[in-house]
Chain A
């Protein structure tokens, strides 16, 4: 709490003293500093959480690493800052972090009134409900009168109120800011229901439940939650770099380039592959980085599919199917603009 107030106060002070931002300021500052400061979630397994060795892993963390790999050729040049839902925008506005990669939902209000921009979508999600099996609830429509655990300052909190209003049901919210605390409250039985993005539910069930089989995730998804990274207004070159770091991973998967066959692919005669890997063309130069930018990303982080499977898919505890997050060529929504 104190930390957040301090942060908000710091933001006010920072905004008070800072000179107006110039185009290119973030890009140049990051380059001069030699590392990226990346705001992440403090603990959603699969998205961003420190592992047993204290190293940050997850699909959101991979995005930070990808940007570092593109800019410095070294994915380890990232400083991670764990943020709560309520701290995240202030931290980015005040310049404490350079990129916010913290399963954040893009909405019109956020895109327009925060002085921030959404870069793209690295995970298509929807809001769901999790309940203990013993309550025998089969559908979200049966939740009238329930007590619901939710984190404040999220779109989740608003969707929840909207959904119960639309279905003329009552509920009692228990609103706790720290993820660890809200999860503890749910598993101790303080609430009947825990609601957040379906991926977050799967993550929580797999990693925090005393016995994962005692909990069910209800079939209804009550919202669209396009999750993606954000940057500050005022530096379009920085915006471009983050955007194309994400696209490079998706484009690589679409073209069959992964971290294992990468060096063979350098010899490929396919002009698309050649452009992505910097064998041909000046794509990197256009972004203001080395022409090997995408090569470096795939070398250290892998393509989008590899990152997905390793963190949230079949290679992880969460086992979330690709569905919407599959490539557009395979019936999903992941579609990168051409590297050309």
Chain B
């Protein structure tokens, strides 16, 4: 009396190589084992060979005294410090040029990208010329040119150009006055940060009110006022000191004040000018990707050209722009390693010196790769998060 029960499970098949799931599993296990074996083989053979040739290995060198000096850095460092600290100086120098470079390249690139679409014939042609020239010359060459321009064109420190009181231009870089260690300047700094936070708060409130009531609020002006006004207020509260730490020529070079080295300036200029060419094209293509009907609709609603660009076109263009822009940010960061050629002490330069002084090439190269991997992945993750956020707001 055989009867089929509805909903019964299919009978269990014996495990067979004819089952595609089983085959898939086997392939994956085999592939994984092959990769693991390769890694194990390379690692163990490397270690064995390094030992056979009596080449020093390991990370012990990080705590040894580095013994070499570094031209510039964000934290204090001297030859008596460890290799680890020297490497940290290098990482911070890389981050410094990458972060400032990304901000400036974005600003410059956006301006040029919009200029290329301008109805002003001269402006549009100049922007096209810029893009074609700087995008098509190798970056390394541009770096050499900027470096040569700075070190050949400017006079020595004793004949430094002095365009404004306290500012000196020479082939040792730009020297400028800095605020001394006084409470008033700390207050001003706090005021600046507070101003930015309040400006964001005001902008958010204004937008909510606009959606709720339709009333507009000049949040742009209010924000600018806060960002400029609060630091001035802080400075006034601190007693409004006017004394600045001035650079002064003494012996070989300037003492006091702040300075921007020619190496940093050349590298930053090169990276910004080169990357801005690519960013300009990305911005232009992003704007062109927004259909013309959108603009016509916005203008017929009575929005001004500026409002149209800011409220209608750019938010939609951003969706197209973000992903290729991420590539450019990653490129700029990785290209900063060309610093070695002109002597800016970035992580590649310092890790190279370290691996040469210690003879531990594998560790040195591993450090460089790890640092760039970490920076790149951070940028990519941030940009992906931003991309998602933009996409959500749109829908």
Contacts and interface: CB of A to CB of B under 8 A. Distances in A.
B53 A185 contact: no
Contact of A93 (B53, B78, B357): B53
Interface stretch (B66-74, B280-288, B293-301): B66-74
Contact of B343 (A135, A161, A174, A233): A174
Interface residues of B, number: 53
Contact of A114 (B151, B338, B359): B359
B213 to A, nearest CB: 59
A259 interface: no
B359 A16 contact: no
B352 A152 contact: yes
B262 A158 contact: no
B365 A160 contact: no
Interface stretch (B176-184, B247-255, B386-394): B247-255
Main secondary structure of the interface of B (DSSP, over half): helix
B69 A1 contact: no
B80 A15 contact: no
A123 B152 CA distance: 35
Given A172-B71, A172-B253, A12 B46 contact: yes
B118 interface: no
Interface string A73-94: 0000000000001100110010
B348 interface: yes
A11 interface: yes
A165 B355 CA distance: 23
Interface stretch (A143-151, A287-295, A312-320): A143-151
B340 A177 contact: yes
B42 interface: yes
A189 interface: yes
Contact of A175 (B52, B56, B255, B343): B343
Contacts of B42: 16
Contacts of A181: 341-343
B53 A5 contact: no
Contacts of A113: 55-56, 358-359
A152 B349 contact: yes
Nearest to A158: B67
B358 to A, nearest CB: 7
A93 B352 CA distance: 16
B342 A12 contact: no
A161 B361 contact: no
Contact of B69 (A12, A15, A86, A171): A171
A15 B43 CA distance: 10
A190 interface: yes
A214 to B, nearest CB: 13
Contact of B349 (A8, A175, A185): A175
B309 interface: no
A224 interface: no
B53 A115 contact: yes
A133 interface: no
A4 interface: yes
Interface string A289-307: 0000000000000000000
B93 interface: no
A232 B349 CA distance: 26
A190 B151 contact: yes
Nearest to B364: A8
A151 B179 CA distance: 35
A138 interface: no
Nearest to A114: B359
Given A145-B252, A145-B253, A177-B340, A90 B361 contact: yes
B283 to A, nearest CB: 29
A233 B71 CA distance: 36
B359 A89 contact: yes
A157 B342 CA distance: 17
Contacts of A85: 356
A141 interface: no
Nearest first, the 6 closest Cβ-Cβ pairs linking A and B are A153-B356, A161-B79, A115-B53, A176-B343, A115-B55, A113-B56
Interface of B: 42, 45-46, 48-50, 52-56, 67-71, 78-80, 148, 151-152, 156, 171-172, 250-253, 255, 262-263, 337-338, 340-343, 345, 348-349, 352-353, 355-359, 361-362, 364-365, 368
30 contacts: A5-B368, A16-B46, A20-B48, A20-B52, A85-B356, A86-B353, A89-B356, A89-B359, A89-B361, A93-B53, A109-B359, A115-B53, A115-B54, A147-B253, A153-B357, A158-B357, A161-B67, A165-B80, A173-B68, A173-B70, A174-B263, A175-B70, A175-B71, A176-B341, A182-B343, A189-B156, A190-B151, A190-B171, A192-B252, A232-B53
Given A152-B349, A232-B53, 8 more contacts: A12-B46, A16-B46, A147-B172, A152-B68, A173-B68, A175-B71, A178-B341, A189-B151
